[in-house]
Every structure is written in C-alpha cells, then in structure tokens.
Amino acid sequence: MHSTFDVPVLKMRDIDKHFGGVYALNKVNFEVYTAEVVALIGENGAGKSTLMNILGGIYQPDAGEIWYSDKPITIPDVKASIELGIAFIHQELNVLDNLDIAGNIFLGREPVFSKYGRLINKKKLYEKAEPYLHRLGLNLSPKTPMKDLSIAQQQIVEIAKALSLNACVLIMDEPTSSLTISETHILFDIIRQLKNRGVSIIFISHRLNEIEACADRVVGLRDGCNSGELARNEITHDKMVSLMVGRNIKPVYHEYQKRSTESRFRVDRVKTQTWPMQEISFEVFSGEIFGITGLVGAGRTELAQALFGIDTMISGSIHLDGREIEIRSVKDAVRSGLYLIPEDRRNSGLVMEMSVLENLTLPDLQRRSRFGLIKNKHEIRVAAKRCQEANIKAADIRNAAKTLSGGNQQKIVLSKWLSFKPQVVILDEPTRGIDVGAKSEIYQTLRKLADTGIIIIVISSDMEEVMNICHRIMVMHEGKISGILEQAQCTEENLMNLAVGKSVKPVTECHTDKKNNTT
C-alpha cells in the first residue's frame, strides 16, 4: 500500500541508455510514491547508478519518459534536477578537500553580504551548517577542512549537504558503505524523519539487512532490465538475492577449525602519528583471518598506513615469522612482503583513467619490459590470465578501469598485489560498495589465501562482515585496543560495547547462526 497518494511523485517509463554498443538500461520502469522508501537493488553493473544518474541530470536517456508530480519533464543537467527537488548522495564521494565542511555543504548556495555582492557571510555559513552536523552525529566544527576527514566522515558531510537542499526526492547511493552500525542507526532515524515530512527516498545498498530494516518496497535490476519487485511484506534476504543475481550465492559461512598456535605476524607496542600516546600490540596466527573494527576515527586506517609505511611509526616493532622487519617506507613494506589494499580504491588503489590491462601490470612493469620497453604481448597475456583467475568482468582489458563496477575494480586491486606472492595482506574496507555476488567471491578468495599461509588482516566498519569471515576481531577505541574477541565472543553487542569503550559480557556459545547468512 502506497503512502499519501495513488499517483507516483516520480515515474520513469521505458528508459533506454547505451554506451557505445552496450545497453546499460533497456526499457526500465521505475516509480516512487510520496513518503516512500524504495530500495533499488542489483549487482554492480546492473544499471542502478545509470538510472539514478539520469534522474540526477548527469546522463540523458536515449529513449523513454520521466514524469514528476504527474507532469512529463526533461532533466537536462544537475542544476535542473536540484531545482526540481531531487537530491543525490553519490556512492563515490564528490567533495572539495580544499574547502571546509560548511563550504562543501552549501557550495554554490553560500549566504552572502548582499550590499557587498558575492562576499560570503562566513558567520552565517557556519551557523547554518552546525545543525546538520549535530543531527547526523558528526562532532566536528563546520570550519574543519575536508582534507582532515576520514572517508566515513566525508560521507556524512555529503548526507548533510543533501539534507540541506530540502529535497522532495532523496537518492541515497550506498550511503552507509563507510558508516559503522551506530552511524547507520542515526541515518535510519533521519530517513524516518524525512518520511514523516513527506520526503521520498530511493535507497541503493548492497547491505541487504539494511534494506529489510528500512524499505517499503524493493525494485530489482539485472543486466540493465527490470528483474522484479517486492512489497514490504515480501522483503526477505533470499528473495532479494534472487532478484539481483537469479542464482544461489555460495554461503560465506564455514566451520571454524581449531586455530593454529603458530604466531606468524606480530605488532609490538606500535605508536602512530595520529594517536602518539597509545600503544598497539597484537599477533596473527597461521591460517586465520584477523579482523579489526571500531567506530570512525578509532585509528584503524591510521594503524594500517603506519604498518605499510605510508605514515611513520613513532615507535614499536613488527615481526614476521620470528624476525623483525623494519618498515620506514612503502618500498620497505613491499620488499618485506606486506601489502595494503586501501579503503579508497578509486584514488589510492587504481589509476582510473588507465586501462584494466595497465592497472593489473603497473606494479611489476620491470618484469614485463626489456631495455626499458614494455613487452606488449607478454603484458596482455599476463593481464588476461589475471582477469580469468580473479573473475574480473571487463568487455575489453583495454577499457579504462573507471568503466568497471566497484566489485571488479576491487578485484583488480587485489589481483595485482597477489601476483607478488605476499606474506601479509591488509585489506581496509574490502567490500565497500560491492554487491552480494562480488562480496562472496572476495570472501572465498580471502579464505583460500589464509589457507595457503598468507596472513590476512581485514579492517571493516561492517560488523556483520567481520563476524562472518574473521576468526578473531580486534576492536579499537580512540587509538587503543579496547578488546580482542575470540570467535565465540563475537556478538554485535560485544563489538559495539568495545567500540564505545565499554566492557563486554561473557558469551559461552557461538554467536548468530551464520549458516543462514549468504552475504
């Protein structure tokens, strides 16, 4: 049953869009009613973002009609979309890191001193920004430079910007991909408030449990076409997976064997530049996947960057297979067999304008060249083999990496480092913005790597993820370790208590029934 009106506030009919000879959308129909949360689901590359980019004025449809408030419309550009009352929170962050928080929220809409032309009224700008930050639980000054914020904090600023537009239709493309559970709960409260004010929400997420929690209706896309629809009382995990992929996904759950007593990797009293007063010590055993979680700003990414040599450690030591390794730079880390899969794959893991082929072979060009000249045929063979092994789906390996889905981009980042036969792989938010099918493939890859003796450390804000794939989980709070939980202790309640600096309750039995969890 739809809210308020029987006439959709927004209706898209028979939308076509192709790029070159490839159809991204083929006669897609989509509608949303007033004060309704519609979840749009599908694998990476299914057409979700393309459809929303048409609503946002970024792309123009090749065919089809768009109706808004029961009137046919065209959306020639982003400005026209905003003027219609459509706000878009993009999956890939769209921030200017040379401005402060308030400047990003009200970019192009800054309050000005009228008698002085376009001179910005900074006092009023910061006053206007403050309530949005407070509402979203971001305890930072609106004067804070964006470059000083983490990815998750930047994402919250993007949400604040969308809220400031007072939109009638709000598109959220993976809004929780870098948020912790507590931050996600704040966002859900905001969604409920917006619904009560009559705002319609289009919610795109690969976290199916979130869709179950907040969606009134689910619309599925597969290969650029409509794959079906679910009413509120029909929304279940299995039905959504069926709409998305049309096949069964291999469960990621496995029985946890007794952990080896062989300590392979040890971090001893490491201090980072961000948290110079806190010491971090932990060890990873042979064959296990070790998880690190915590709230935004807890120091997880900073620890990873210090271990990989991006940031300089103030003190402490790192040991691999009983010997101390000295890491003062990224080159030292790579030489020692330690690799980092970064949180921001688009800016730190890939050269987006370069081809899939070039990205896959970029780290080891010396092995693919002779007298300074790249051996093209050999490079192509190597890249094609890596695509096949990692199941990277690309129409042509000469296409730019930016044309691939998020899941396939992540596979490129992982594949290029695996070719170096690493000893330790640290993955920071490895499945951010990735669909259920690609997630399952990446999880299975991590399991196989751990079984072969590679040390796997997974940093994730997704507590369900770390509970499902990790043998032990280290929780960080304000730069220090608040606890390391054995598998039997890993409940969401315990993880959250540690994440906010509280103690945990003893647990005698394993947590949730993972056998029924397929993501």
Domain 10-245 belongs to what topology? Rossmann fold (3.40.50)
CA 282 from centroid of its chain's CA atoms: 26
pLDDT in tens, 425-468: 999 988 877 766 777 888 888 888 888 888 999 998 877 788 88
CB 140 within 8 A of CB 101: yes
Looking at domain 249-337+422-519, its CATH superfamily turns out to be P-loop containing nucleotide triphosphate hydrolases (3.40.50.300)
Specify the higher pLDDT residue, 62 or 113.
Answer: 62
Taking each helix axis from N to C end, the angle separating 151-164 and 181-196, rounded to the nearest 10 degrees, works out to 10
**How confident is residue 221, by pLDDT bands cut at 50, 70 and 90?**
very high
Q: Measured between alpha carbons, how far is 497 from 509 in angstroms, rounded to an integer?
A: 18
Residues 8/33, Cβ–Cβ less than 8 Å: yes
Q: How far is CA 418 from CA 340, 391, 434, 446, in A?
A: 11, 14, 20, 11
pLDDT at site 185: 82
Contacts for 489 with CB less than 8 Å, ≥ 6 apart: 504, 506, 507
Tokens of 436: 């259920």
Q: By C-alpha distance, which of 289, 341, 280, 281 is closest to 310?
A: 341
The DSSP annotation for 95-164 comes to --TTSBHHHHHTTT---B-GGGTT-B-HHHHHHHHHHHHHHTT--S-TTSBGGGS-HHHHHHHHHHHHHH
CB 179 within 8 A of CB 210: no
What pLDDT, on a 0 to 100 scale, did the predictor assign at position 141?
93
Which position has the higher pLDDT, 515 or 351? 351
Higher-pLDDT residue of 365 and 225 is 225
3-state SS track over 475-503: EEECCEEEEEECHHHCCHHHHHHHHCCCC
Q: Which residues pair with 16 in a beta bridge?
A: 63
Cα separation, 164 vs 474, whole angstroms: 37
Residues near 116 by beta carbon (within 8 Å), at least 6 away in sequence:
none
**Do residues 167 and 199 lie in contact, with contact meaning Cβ atoms separated by under 8 Å?**
yes
Tokens at residue 108, please? 């192009």
Cβ partners under 8 Å of residue 288, min gap 6 = 259, 260, 450, 456, 470, 471, 472
What percentage of the chain exceeds 90 in pLDDT?
A: 32
CA atoms within a 13 Å half-sphere pointing along the CA-CB vector of 131 = 7
Q: pLDDT tens-digit profile of 262-312?
A: 788 999 999 998 888 999 999 999 888 999 998 767 888 899 999 999 998
* Residue 97 burial (CB count, 10 A): 13
Q: Classify residue 276 by its DSSP letter.
A: T
pLDDT tens-digit series, residues 19-35: 766 678 999 999 999 99
**Residues β-bridged to residue 265:** 284, 320
Q: Which token pair is 337?
A: 């067999």
d(CA 476, CA 150): 16
At 72, is the pLDDT very low, low, confident or very high (cuts 50, 70, 90)?
Answer: very high
Q: Check: CB of residue 155 under 8 Å from CB of residue 92.
A: no
pLDDT band at 508 (very low <50, low <70, confident <90, very high): very low
Backbone torsions φ then ψ of 461, nearest 5 degrees: -85, -15
Under the banding of pLDDT at 50, 70 and 90, the label for residue 356 is: confident
Q: Where are the domains of the chain?
A: 10-245, 249-337+422-519, 350-417
Q: What is the pTM of this model?
A: 0.61
The torsion angle over the Cα atoms of residues 140, 145, 151 and 152, rounded to 10 degrees, is 20
Which is more confident, 514 or 276? 276
Q: What is the pLDDT of residue 373?
A: 66
Question: What's the farthest any 2 CA atoms get from each other in the chain?
Answer: 74
**pLDDT score for 255:** 47
Supply the angle between the helices 151-164 and 122-135 in degrees, to the nearest 10.
110
pLDDT score, position 371:
57
Residue 173, φ and ψ in degrees, nearest 5: -100, 105
Inform me whether the pLDDT recorded for 511 exceeds 70: no
CA 2/CA 489 separation, integer angstroms: 42
* Cα-based distances in Å from 17 to 33, 66, 70, 323, 440: 24, 13, 23, 57, 29
